Amino acid sequence: MTTTPASTSTPTFDGAGQLAAVARSVRMQELDGNDGFVITLTQTFAAKRSSLWSAATEISRLAQWFAPVDGSLRQGGTYQIQDNAHGHITGCHAPDSFTATWEYDGEHSHIEVHFTKVDETHATLSLEHHSPTDEETWPKFGVGATGVGWDLSFASLAHHLATGASVPLETTAWVQTDDASTFLVLSAEAWADASIAAGSDEADARAAQKRTTDAYLDGLNG
């Protein structure tokens, strides 16, 4: 949960507007025979589906908004995100969807990503992340550790598509602004809300929200 600015320029970005543009949901679901959960983020972008697909599946585009990625991004291929997850591409149906394992710090989960054409200039991206309710991260952070991270990625993608930015939002001086701090606070709150709506105990969800918020804010200031 760390972000390190690599640019001194501060982009103008509407964090509150971005948070409102994303629909979030949580559901509890078995994963590989164990307890698990699924978070879903859905957002419609002012971009053709082909452009959205390209941004999410081409190594050169991913480096501009997500992170440097190595590997073979095709069905059956493998990938490695710099200083982050790695895995296998388990399904690829261009330009409709892809699926992949998500392996990080000994934890195995998977993602499903869908691209839907709205009209000639708009398309919707929906991402599902299926994760285990492990004994360490889940009691402490709940869905927030995963959800806030993806909120940041969706924000960076929105900024890239809207402005043509060539570096991830998290690597700019934006992360040192009050807007970034507010974004993290409200994102953690939104995921706690979604978790409670899915049946989580409210006191537990709010406690996890606070720990998630503190961890991400510490990452900004670290």
Reported as a single tens digit per residue, the pLDDT across 166-205 is: 999 999 999 999 999 999 999 999 999 999 999 999 999 9
pLDDT attached to residue 220: 79
**207 occurs within a structural domain:** yes
**3 occurs within a structural domain:** no
Q: Is the pLDDT of residue 4 over 50?
A: no
Q: Is the pLDDT of residue 106 over 80?
A: yes
**142 occurs within a structural domain:** yes
What is the C-alpha end-to-end distance of the chain, expressed in Å? Answer: 10
Containing 15, the helix (H) or strand (E) segment is: helix 15-21
User: How many folded domains does the chain comprise?
Assistant: 1
CA distances from 65 to 11, 28, 203, 206 (A): 13, 30, 35, 30
pLDDT attached to residue 2: 40
**2 occurs within a structural domain:** no
Residue 108 phi, psi dihedral angles, 5° rounding: -115, 125
Q: Average pLDDT for residues 142-155, to the nearest whole number? A: 97
Q: Which domain holds residue 64?
A: 20-221
Q: Taking Cα atoms as reference points, which of 87, 113, 86, 85 lies closest to residue 99? A: 113
CATH of the domain at 217: 3.30.530.20
């200039």: which residue's tokens? 121
Q: Taking Cα atoms as reference points, which of 115, 155, 200 lies closest to residue 13? A: 155
Q: Is the pLDDT of residue 5 over 50?
A: no
**9 occurs within a structural domain:** no
Q: Taking Cα atoms as reference points, which of 141, 139, 142, 143 lies closest to residue 151? A: 143
Q: How confident is the model at residue 222 (pLDDT cuts 50, 70, 90)?
A: low
pLDDT attached to residue 219: 84
Q: How confident is the model at residue 136 (pLDDT cuts 50, 70, 90)?
A: confident
**78 occurs within a structural domain:** yes
pLDDT attached to residue 8: 52
DSSP state, 8?
S
Q: How confident is the model at residue 93 (pLDDT cuts 50, 70, 90)?
A: very high
**211 occurs within a structural domain:** yes
**13 occurs within a structural domain:** no
pLDDT attached to residue 117: 98
Evaluated on CA atoms 208, 221, 181, 122, the torsion sign reads: negative
Q: Is beta strand 86-93 parallel, antiparallel or unpaired with respect to 78-81?
A: antiparallel
Mean pLDDT of the chain: 93
